[in-house]
C-alpha cells in the first residue's frame, strides 16, 4: 500500500494558513518552511548592481531563480508548453501531464521527425517530466488534485469549464491548494461571447488584426512564419506566472491568472492600434516597410536582400552617403522623416535602383561601422552560422532517449550570476509516471501497479 495520501493532503490543508502566508506550497509540497530561494532574491539587496554581459560571472552560483518551484503543466501545443519550458529553464520542476498513448497533440505534427519524435514537439518541451494520466478516469482526476496540492503553479489550456466538469477547475483546486497560482490559457478569455471557441494561433491572429497588417502592400493577408500570437501569449504567461508567485509571496494567497491569445495579440498591436484609437487611421499591410519611418525596409540587391532602417535624419544622411547619393539627402522633399513618409514612393524608387547595383555582401561591407541599422535576410543555414548567433550561444544540444543527439533554439536571455546549461531532453509520453507517483506523491508499488493495470496512468519504458 502507498503512504497515506489522505494524511498528506490533510497536512497540506492544515498548513494552508501558515504556509501560504509565507508564499509556500502545503506540507509535502515543493518548498520548505523557509524563505523560498526562488523569490527571496526579489526582496533582498546588497547595494550592488548586476554585472553586464551574457555569460555568468566567474564563481557564479548554480542556484537558479525557480529552484524548488513545482509546476503542474496540463497545457498542449505551443503557448503553454513554450511558457513552461521557459520556467523550466530557470530551474522550475515542470511536470507535464499527457494523455496515455498519444500525449501532446504536437507529438504527431510532422514531418519532420527525429527518429519517431516530432521535431515540433522537441522544440518546446525541454526540461520537463512527463506523467501520462487519463483525466477522464476518476482515479486520474484524483491524481491531478493530489499533484496540485503539492505544486506551486497549475497551468492549463482547456476551453473554459471543461476542467471544472471533472473537478479540476480553479475553484476546485483552490479548495485543496489555496496557495496555488492557477493559470488558464484560452483563445478568447474566461468570459464573454466567444468564450466557448477553441483558439489556434492563425485564427486568433486573424481576429486580432495581425493578419490584416501582415503581407505585401497590395497582396493577400499573410500568416507570420512562426506562430507569433501563440509565442507572445506564452511570454505573457511566463511573466504572469512569475508575477503570480511574487504576489503570493506578498499576500500569502494564490490567485487565478487569465491569459488568452486574443488579448495577447491585441496588446501587441502597439502603435498600429494606437494610430486607430487616437487618429482613426486604419492599419494596412506594408510588406517589409514601416508605416511611419522611411526608409525602413528590405531592398533587393544583385543577389539577395538587405534591410536598412534610418530611424532619424542623421542616419538618413549616412545612408545617402553610403549609396553615393548626396543630392538625395539635400533634397527638400526628404529633409525630415515626416517629409520622407509623405514622399515615400519617389524616395524608395531612387534607393531601390541604387541597391540593385551591388551584391548583398558588398552593401554589408559598406554599411559596417556606419551606425545605421542594417542586415541581410538570412535563411536558417545562414542564421545558425552567423558569428553573433554562435557567440550568443543560442543553440541547446542534448541526448534524447530515442531521437539521439538533438539541437533546439535555447532561451534568448543570459544572466550574470547563473547559467541555463545542461538542459534535460524533452520527455517521452509517460516517461516519468512511476517516478512522480513514488517520489512526489509517495505511492507504493502495489498502488502504482493497480493504476497501471486499470489504465488510469501509463508508463513509457525507455529501452
The set of catalytic residues is: 230
- What is the rounded (10 degree) CA torsion for 458, 93, 182, 164? 0
| Cell matching residue 196 | 466557448
Do 290 and 215 contact (CB within 8 A), yes or no?
no
Do 132 and 449 contact (CB within 8 A), yes or no?
no
| Cell matching residue 285 | 499591410
394: phi then psi, degrees, rounded to nearest 5: -90, 10
Which of 416, 463, 425 has its CA nearest to residue 119? 425
Q: What H or E segment, with its residue span, contains residue 315?
A: helix 313-322
- Strands in 157-212 per DSSP E: 181-186
222: phi then psi, degrees, rounded to nearest 5: -130, 140
Q: Look up cell 515540433; give the residue.
A: 120
Enter the DSSP assignment of 109: -
Handedness of CA 60, 66, 69, 70 (dihedral sign): negative
- What is the rounded (10 degree) CA torsion for 228, 230, 235, 237? 160
Walk across the sheet containing 305-309 and list its strands.
296-300, 305-309, 374-376
Q: Look up cell 509540497; give the residue.
A: 29
Q: What is the spatial distance between Cα 190 and Cα 258, in angstroms, rounded to a whole number?
A: 7
Do 198 and 171 contact (CB within 8 A), yes or no?
no
217-254 residues labelled b (16+ CB within 10 A) or e (exposed): eeeeeebeeebbbbbbbbbbbbebbbebbbbbbeebbb
Q: What is the spatial distance between Cα 338 and Cα 233, in angstroms, rounded to a whole number?
A: 34
Do 47 and 199 contact (CB within 8 A), yes or no?
no
3-class state of residue 29 by DSSP: coil
Enter the DSSP assignment of 453: H
Amino acid at each position: 500500500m502507498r503512504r497515506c495520501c489522505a494524511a498528506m493532503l490533510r497536512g497540506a490543508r492544515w498548513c494552508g494558513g501558515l504556509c501560504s502566508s509565507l508564499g509556500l506550497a502545503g506540507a509535502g509540497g515543493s518548498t520548505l518552511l523557509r524563505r523560498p530561494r526562488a523569490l527571496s532574491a526579489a526582496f533582498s539587496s546588497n547595494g550592488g548592481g548586476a554585472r553586464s554581459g551574457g555569460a555568468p560571472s566567474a564563481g557564479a552560483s548554480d542556484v537558479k531563480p525557480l529552484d524548488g518551484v513545482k509546476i503542474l503543466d496540463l497545457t498542449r501545443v505551443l503557448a503553454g508548453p513554450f511558457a513552461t519550458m521557459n520556467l523550466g529553464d530557470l530551474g522550475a520542476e515542470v511536470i507535464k501531464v499527457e494523455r496515455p498513448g498519444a500525449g501532446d497533440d504536437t507529438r504527431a505534427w510532422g514531418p519532420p521527425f527525429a527518429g519517431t519524435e516530432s521535431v515540433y514537439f522537441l522544440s518546446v518541451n525541454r526540461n520537463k517530466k512527463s506523467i501520462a494520466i487519463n483525466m477522464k478516469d476518476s482515479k486520474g482526476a484524483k491524481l491531478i488534485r493530489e499533484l496540485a496540492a503539492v505544486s506551486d503553479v497549475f497551468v492549463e489550456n482547456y476551453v473554459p469549464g471543461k476542467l471544472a466538469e471533472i473537478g479540476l477547475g480553479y475553484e476546485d483546486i483552490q479548495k485543496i491548494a489555496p496557495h496555488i497560482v492557477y493559470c488558464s490559457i484560452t483563445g478568447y478569455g474566461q468570459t464573454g461571447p466567444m468564450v466557448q471557441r477553441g483558439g489556434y494561433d492563425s485564427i486568433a491572429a486573424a481576429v486580432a488584426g495581425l493578419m490584416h497588417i501582415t503581407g505585401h502592400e497590395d497582396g493577400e493577408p499573410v500568416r507570420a512564419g512562426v506562430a507569433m500570437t501563440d509565442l507572445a501569449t506564452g511570454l505573457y504567461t511566463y511573466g504572469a506566472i512569475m508575477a503570480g508567485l511574487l504576489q503570493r509571496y506578498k499576500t500569502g494567497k494564490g490567485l487565478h491568472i487569465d491569459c488568452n491569445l486574443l488579448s495577447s495579440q491585441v496588446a501587441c498591436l502597439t502603435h498600429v492600434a494606437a494610430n486607430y484609437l487616437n487618429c482613426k487611421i486604419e492599419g494596412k499591410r506594408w510588406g517589409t516597410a514601416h508605416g511611419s519611418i522611411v526608409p525602413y525596409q528590405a531592398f533587393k540587391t544583385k543577389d539577395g536582400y538587405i534591410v536598412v532602417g534610418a530611424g532619424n535624419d542623421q542616419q538618413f544622411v549616412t545612408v545617402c552617403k553610403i549609396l553615393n547619393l548626396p543630392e538625395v539627402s539635400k533634397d527638400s522633399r526628404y529633409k525630415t522623416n515626416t517629409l520622407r513618409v509623405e514622399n515615400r514612393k519617389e524616395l524608395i524608387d531612387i534607393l531601390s535602383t541604387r541597391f540593385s547595383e551591388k551584391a548583398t555582401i558588398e552593401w554589408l561591407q559598406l554599411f559596417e561601422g556606419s551606425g545605421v541599422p542594417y542586415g541581410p535576410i538570412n535563411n536558417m543555414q545562414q542564421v545558425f552560422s552567423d558569428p553573433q548567433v554562435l557567440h550568443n550561444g543560442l543553440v541547446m544540444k542534448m541526448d534524447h532517449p530515442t531521437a539521439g543527439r538533438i539541437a533546439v533554439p535555447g532561451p534568448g536571455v543570459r544572466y550574470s550570476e547563473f547559467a541555463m546549461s545542461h538542459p534535460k531532453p524533452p520527455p517521452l509520453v509517460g516517461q516519468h509516471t512511476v517516478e512522480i507517483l513514488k517520489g512526489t506523491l509517495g505511492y507504493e508499488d502495489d498502488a502504482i501497479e493497480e493504476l497501471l493495470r486499470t489504465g488510469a496512468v501509463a508508463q513509457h519504458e525507455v529501452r
